Copies of this chain bind each other. A is one copy, B any other.
Amino acid sequence: MQYGFGVDVGGTSIKLGLFSQDGTLMEKWEIPTHTEHGGERILPEIAEAIEACMQKRGLCKEQILGIGIGVPGPVDDRGNVNCCVNLNWGVFNLHDALGILTGMKVKAGNDANVAALGEHFAGGGKGSESSLLVTIGTGVGGGFVLHDQVMNGAHGVAGEIGHIVVNRDEPLYCTCGKRGCVEQYASANGIVRVTNKRLSESDTPSSLRDFPKLSCKDVFYCAEQGDSLAKDILEQTYDYLGEAIADACCILDPELVILGGGVSKAGQVLLDGIHRHYQAYMFHACKHTRFALASLGNDAGIYGGFKLILG
């Protein structure tokens, strides 16, 4: 029996998974991310964690197909990393660096793209030929998978759906340096920002005013309870996301759109809302493109990492 490792590197923790060749997750665990000193401990600690797992299970290197790893930054097809700000990483080749430490084959990708591969392969996209994952979390990200291959792009940033411009009149800058990106309105942070702005601009009565420190979840809760302002804010959110996803689908024409990320825990109400606005922004041929919710949650990254190795 052969095995493979999937690794998902985040700013605070690193998720690891051991998979058998047939895609079964045998074991998963986490280690903390040490970002100090240019993040120099991150790769040696991943190598140690993998070595410890193999020792515990009596696995030898010949039984391991390799290590697939997703990191929060641009990664090109050759494994070149170009600054992962959250890890304090600069520019280097991740295939070589982790390969030397472990003596195993390494395949790396951007975390959102690797998660898209995971959902495509083992989650909400299972069985489809092509899928676009849209992750709505702290930010808005995404990844596109076609024929089991995730698209990385020439600069390792393909699938950045969060930075499609939906409001040409926005005075504030997005973290990416542009203005009017969908992420500025429809991410968890964006929804809270828009809500606080709307509350401060008027005296409209709203149960949203009862929360001393408002979260994105509160906005969904209030809308569910019938609060008009909260409903209106979410309708606008769905409209922006519907437009951005329709723009992406004009270009990619995927079989399936998968909604993931923390905000997607709102479930069917979010899916229905986005889909309604998507249809208004989409031409006939793609009006009935299927929408689904992501199903792997925080494990999408390790599943995708393993799939990178399977090829």
Which chain A residues have a beta carbon within 8 Å of chain B's beta carbons?
74, 82, 129-130, 144, 146, 151-161, 163-166, 168, 176-178, 243, 246-248, 250-255, 280-286, 289
> Which residue of B157, B158, B164, B253 contacts A153 across the interface (Cβ within 8 Å)?
B253
Specify which chain B residues have a CB less than 8 angstroms from the CB of A247 in the assembled complex: 164-165, 247, 251
**Contact between chains at A251 and B165 (CB < 8 Å):** no
Q: How far is the CA of A251 from the CA of B281 in the complex (A)?
A: 17
Q: Which residue of B lies closest to A290 (CB)?
A: B154
> Which residue of B155, B252, B289 contacts A285 across the interface (Cβ within 8 Å)?
B155
Specify which chain B residues have a CB less than 8 angstroms from the CB of A160 in the assembled complex: 250-251, 253, 283
User: Given the known A-B contacts A82-B285, A176-B284, A285-B82, are A154 and B250 also in contact in the complex, defined by CB atoms under 8 Å?
Assistant: no
Q: How far is the CA of A178 from the CA of B156 in the complex (A)?
A: 31
Q: How far is the CA of A252 from the CA of B158 in the complex (A)?
A: 5
Give min CB distance, A85 to chain B, whole Å.
Answer: 11
- Secondary structure class of chain A's binding surface, majority of residues: loop
Q: How many copies altogether?
A: 2
**Contact between chains at B243 and A157 (CB < 8 Å):** no
**Contact between chains at A161 and B250 (CB < 8 Å):** yes
Q: Which residue of B lies closest to A248 (CB)?
A: B251
Known: A157-B283, A165-B243, A178-B281. 4 other contacts (CB 8 A): A82-B285, A161-B251, A164-B247, A251-B252
Specify which chain B residues have a CB less than 8 angstroms from the CB of A280 in the assembled complex: 178
Q: How far is the CA of A176 from the CA of B249 in the complex (A)?
A: 14
> Which residue of B165, B246, B281, B283 contacts A246 across the interface (Cβ within 8 Å)?
B165
Specify which chain B residues have a CB less than 8 angstroms from the CB of A146 in the assembled complex: 151
Specify which chain B residues have a CB less than 8 angstroms from the CB of A165 in the assembled complex: 243, 246-247, 281
Specify which chain B residues have a CB less than 8 angstroms from the CB of A284 in the assembled complex: 176-177
Q: Which of A164, A246, A254, A284 has the most CB of B within 10 A?
A: A164
Give min CB distance, A117 to chain B, whole Å.
Answer: 16
> Which residue of B74, B155, B251 contacts A251 across the interface (Cβ within 8 Å)?
B251
Give min CB distance, A177 to chain B, whole Å.
Answer: 6
Specify which chain B residues have a CB less than 8 angstroms from the CB of A285 in the assembled complex: 74, 82, 155-157
Give min CB distance, A246 to chain B, whole Å.
Answer: 7
Q: Which residue of B lies closest to A130 (CB)?
A: B154
